[in-house]
Structure 1
């Protein structure tokens, strides 16, 4: 491993999307991640499509750079294995309910006693500080309660609708990575770890309201909320003669150049469109004009004109187009590896590039419990990896 987190040890007690995306990112950066699974395994193992039972495509994409062990936390010996790993670890990430961790003796105060340097991160639905604490939560639930479903429906003039991505899981997972790295930095100064809470609800409310707080920022009424440009029903890919194009003139100069290309430069002479603030008030009208104008040329014709005029634009890719997109091919975005059980698999590479300590894909997604014998002795529970550390030397 060569990544910037080489030497960092992570106990991963997460499943499905949010936690595994967090810990996989840490693994991509070089951390040694041990994924603890129940005898039933991470539920995402059984998502489709799959070649073999227990190795569904979503699991394979979210669990590289990890080793998997099976532990039954109802068994005292297995529970002790977790505690022994936590004593040696730098980071523990979990998405069990906080109450469950307390009942197992895996809460922060208990683990801090045996490892004061531990960075302990809980990623779950709702903060323990509020009345929703302990509620079950998945991506759909958080999209619904955080305003995301309302935003998607409101922008399309429809009832609430979910984003067609496990967006809340992935945003919260990346937010947890940020918080963990900040805590690691602070530990390098203080010498001690700390507990972190990264709840999905609060994370997504913050994420959603960055632009959509709008008038409520200044004490306005609740109906002042919502960023008008993003919510315009005309904000969408625009149809061309043979497809669709993503198009966004943004500055005054870009709008002027676009309407010159379109043969109607006088548009910006109207008081409704002459300044950025007025354009923002009438953005729906402008988008409606774009929708009408783009229909009269092909996508290739528009791209040639817009690239020459330095106006932000792109053809609309289907998911299938991404695999052959020339930029992604040139940057090596997709890596194909031979998995020992699944055969040839294609993955996206870690997108962040480090000049001295490159991230990498060192391990492919593990089979359920693949590394039990490597990590601990089944008879005694003795840990075979991660030697005990001397805090005085760290």
Structure 2
């Protein structure tokens, strides 16, 4: 491959019809676009709701929309109208996958079911991101906050005490990740003769699986052998540590990490202390261990400690703001946050796909579209 050549991406040639809005679905289809798929986004006349979140340079082109919809084309259909529903049906045979995040009943009214796609002459994989799988909650609406609450994530985030939300749309983006993985797996299966017709990602069940996998604790066993929750992550002292002039994140985790650090401190008395010598001992006494570490780190500056941890081969890093990230030398060297010219929005910073195929990052993506920008191309109305 020539030095200036971009790698061929795994989903090159795959066509995806995006009937999603807000965050879980657009995040899924953004990932598919980053993997090389052609993604055509169908929006209502008012546009995806994220066109109205926050403010941008122009109406409908907000930071969140620009971030979630890079790599896509946009067409407008009013699916309340019979004529536009017929146009949608006419589109379906031209795609390899159709993605929506509607409630099942709403999707069924539009023919976005396995049978509906077949009736339209489409063999596309149907990917559905829904709030809940079949069961008592199936018809309920779901959003990120409610899913964090129901799934135990807010309880875990509050350490089993006062619940808190993760300050990112973790439920939406996790569902989107699972959906993109499901699409890729199903398309691979089809190429090998396993004709999967649909994949459904229920946000509630997905976040339960995501949250509980390392937090189930004693409830892993029946009858229970103890309480749930992973003690290390539950410690109130698990946070970036204050230094003399800032904060540092450090992960003294293995027995070797602790032996080398305690020896460097001149605390050989603690090297053989059962509370510090083994990972099991540290786990039982995690609050005391973290308290000791906090007291030590307050005595030196951030740069000083980073030098020490680098010499000891202990994972550590300063706490960075987003402004710091934009200036971070590693991210600058890897081109992780490129600034590109958008046709209508001017200079726009993009969060580049982290994938490296054949050791190379993917090339630039199509800029996030203005509402209906590609209607004539997608709908054939030009």
Task: Indicate the TM-score class for this superposition, using the shorter chain for normalisation.
Answer: over 0.9
Q: Given the alignment, which residue of 4, 10, 14 partners 2:16?
A: 10
Structure 1 residue 138 and structure 2 residue 143: aligned? yes
Q: Deviations over 1:61-103 (max 9, x none)?
A: 0001111011011222211222222111100000111111111
Structure 1 residue 321 and structure 2 residue 329: aligned? no
Alignment-derived partner of residue 159 in structure 1 = 162
Moved more, 43-52 or 292-301: 43-52
The alpha-carbon deviation at position 117 of structure 1 amounts to 3.3
The alpha-carbon deviation at position 116 of structure 1 amounts to 5.9
Whether the aligned pair in 2 keeps the contact of 1:4 and 1:358 (CA below 8 Å) is no
Alignment-derived partner of residue 275 in structure 1 = 278
The alpha-carbon deviation at position 315 of structure 1 amounts to 0.8
Structure 1 Cα separation of the partners of residues 83 and 122 of structure 2: 23
Structure 2 Cα separation of the partners of residues 276 and 356 of structure 1: 36
The alpha-carbon deviation at position 191 of structure 1 amounts to 6.4
Secondary structure of the structure 2 residue equivalent to 1:224: coil
Structure 1 stretches of 4+ with a deviation exceeding 3 A read 113-117, 220-223
Distance of aligned partners of 1:220 and 1:296 in 2 relative to their CA distance in 1, 3 Å threshold: farther
Alignment-derived partner of residue 296 in structure 2 = 293
Which TM-score applies when normalising by structure 2? Answer: 0.94
Alignment-derived partner of residue 87 in structure 1 = 93
Structure 2 Cα separation of the partners of residues 210 and 307 of structure 1: 32
Structure 2 Cα separation of the partners of residues 364 and 6 of structure 1: 17
Alignment-derived partner of residue 71 in structure 2 = 65
Report how many aligned residue pairs link the two structures: 376
Alignment-derived partner of residue 202 in structure 2 = 199
Structure 1 residue 31 and structure 2 residue 37: aligned? yes
Structure 1 Cα separation of the partners of residues 281 and 194 of structure 2: 54
Secondary structure of the structure 1 residue equivalent to 2:156: helix
RMSD between aligned residues: 1.8
Unaligned 5+ residue runs, structure 2?
Answer: 1-5
Q: Given the alignment, which residue of 295, 303, 308 partners 1:305?
A: 308
Alignment-derived partner of residue 3 in structure 2 = none
Alignment-derived partner of residue 183 in structure 1 = 186
Structure 1 residue 41 and structure 2 residue 47: aligned? yes
Secondary structure of the structure 2 residue equivalent to 1:93: strand
Whether the aligned pair in 1 keeps the contact of 2:93 and 2:121 (CA below 8 Å) is yes
The alpha-carbon deviation at position 3 of structure 1 amounts to 2.0
Alignment-derived partner of residue 375 in structure 1 = 378
The alpha-carbon deviation at position 20 of structure 1 amounts to 0.5
Alignment-derived partner of residue 358 in structure 2 = 355
Structure 1 residue 121 and structure 2 residue 112: aligned? no
Distance of aligned partners of 1:192 and 1:81 in 2 relative to their CA distance in 1, 3 Å threshold: farther
Q: Given the alignment, which residue of 154, 168, 173 partners 1:170?
A: 173
Structure 1 Cα separation of the partners of residues 115 and 343 of structure 2: 40
Unaligned 5+ residue runs, structure 1?
Answer: 379-383, 385-394
Distance of aligned partners of 1:108 and 1:356 in 2 relative to their CA distance in 1, 3 Å threshold: farther
The within-5 A match list for 1:188-267 is: 188-190=191-193, 192-221=195-224, 224-267=227-270
Which TM-score applies when normalising by structure 1? Answer: 0.91
Whether the aligned pair in 2 keeps the contact of 1:29 and 1:360 (CA below 8 Å) is no
The alpha-carbon deviation at position 356 of structure 1 amounts to 7.9
Structure 2 Cα separation of the partners of residues 357 and 90 of structure 1: 26
Moved more, 188-197 or 286-295: 188-197
The alpha-carbon deviation at position 220 of structure 1 amounts to 4.6
The alpha-carbon deviation at position 48 of structure 1 amounts to 1.0
Structure 2 Cα separation of the partners of residues 222 and 125 of structure 1: 32
